[in-house]
Amino acid sequence: MLNYQRLLYWITERDEVRKKKEIGMTKPWSNDMVFRTTYFCNVRREDDKVTQFIRSEYTPMVHHSLFEPNMILARFLNWPDSLSALGYLEHWDPRYVKETLNRIKKSGWKVWGNAYVVTTHGIKMDKIDYLCDRVMPSVLNWHRAKVAWKDCASTANSLRNIEGISTFMAGQVIADLKNTPGHRLKNAPDWWTFAFPGPGSIRGMDWLHGDKVPASQWLQNLHSLQDALKCDGWHLCAQDVQNCLCEYDKWERVTNGTGRSKRGYPGV
């Protein structure tokens, strides 16, 4: 791993920024100008703003019959203001969801978070209509079919059969569910080892090794990296390591001038 120390630097520095921000230290939180001007997700996904909102508002409903559909809807929207306006849905009411989201849209406020790109996958219709009329009915049909909850990998693969849920989004939903106390995936046998590769984490792995890594070796290399980080005091599940690779790719591209981030950060 040619650039392991650079990745380790990114992980350590990003977590230091989080700590300084959380205790109320004044800016700047880093001497690294890339960190001071570029938005990065946290080392641990559970520390991210939207995830913390989901933990506070949704986790207490873990035993509710529509818990998983609510969690999927929450991750699609990925924006606390929209989720607060909707509230936890005790039953599925597409008219209410549409009216609420369209009211937010017409007011000029954000409906969707910036972290994930939500598309209609080539279908010419409004994104809110697509979510309510096509994605969520497919989610509910999946949920009614009695999911086995055997492990993270098989559940993620079943999620990929739902209209509108990409491999990336399936991985995000699994991360939400497996980190929910009381959920059936909390004790999944592959809790520590499950991860789906994404474009950013694939590029991050290439940066790490200084060359193109064959797709067939990505997961094996991820687990080797997971072990190396554990030796350096970072006990991270495979999905958090994957997330770090994605953000590390962003840091390398901005640092080396070979790319830029879509999201700036006012950390100066």
173 plus 204 within the same structural domain: no
Using pLDDT thresholds of 50, 70 and 90, give the confidence band for residue 157.
very high
Over range 232-245, report the average pLDDT: 98
Q: What whole-number percentage of the chain has pLDDT above 70?
A: 99
Query: How far is Cα 36 from Cα 99, in angstroms, rounded to an integer?
Result: 39
68 plus 154 within the same structural domain: yes
Number of independent structural domains in the chain: 2
Dmax over CA atoms of the chain, in Å, equals 53
Q: Which segment, 118-132, 236-250, 251-265, is predicted with the most confidence on average?
A: 236-250
* pTM metric for this prediction: 0.92
178, 203, 227 — which closes off a domain?
Answer: 178
152 plus 200 within the same structural domain: no
132 plus 216 within the same structural domain: no
Q: Is residue 34 part of a domain?
A: no
Give residue-wise pLDDT tens across range 159-201.
999 999 999 999 999 999 999 999 999 999 999 999 999 899 9
Query: How far is Cα 133 from Cα 127, in angstroms, rounded to an integer?
Result: 10
Query: How far is Cα 226 from Cα 193, in angstroms, rounded to an integer?
Result: 9
Q: What pLDDT does 80 receive?
A: 95
196 plus 135 within the same structural domain: no
Using pLDDT thresholds of 50, 70 and 90, give the confidence band for residue 213.
very high
Q: Is residue 168 part of a domain?
A: yes
Q: What pLDDT does 153 receive?
A: 97
Query: How far is Cα 30 from Cα 267, in angstroms, rounded to an integer?
Result: 8
71 plus 172 within the same structural domain: yes
93 plus 136 within the same structural domain: yes
Euclidean distance between the first and the last CA atom of the chain, given in angstroms as a whole number: 32
Over range 247-261, report the average pLDDT: 89
135, 156, 178 — which closes off a domain?
Answer: 178
Which range marks the domain in which residue 201 is found? 192-256
51 plus 170 within the same structural domain: yes
Give residue-wise pLDDT tens across range 94-148.
999 999 999 999 999 999 987 777 777 788 889 999 999 999 999 999 999 988 9
Query: How far is Cα 159 from Cα 88, in angstroms, rounded to an integer?
Result: 21
Give residue-wise pLDDT tens across range 40-57.
999 999 999 999 999 999
Q: Is residue 183 part of a domain?
A: no
pLDDT exceeds cutoff 80 at 247: yes
146, 178, 210 — which closes off a domain?
Answer: 178
Over range 237-252, report the average pLDDT: 97
**Using an 8 Å Cβ cutoff, are 43 and 244 in contact?**
yes
153 plus 217 within the same structural domain: no
Helices (H), the chain: 4-22, 33-37, 49-57, 67-77, 80-86, 94-106, 127-130, 136-144, 152-159, 167-178, 199-209, 218-231, 238-256
Q: Is residue 102 part of a domain?
A: yes
Q: Is residue 19 part of a domain?
A: no
174 plus 56 within the same structural domain: yes
Tokens 């509910």 correspond to 140
β-strand partners of 264: 38
Q: Is residue 235 part of a domain?
A: yes
119 plus 60 within the same structural domain: yes
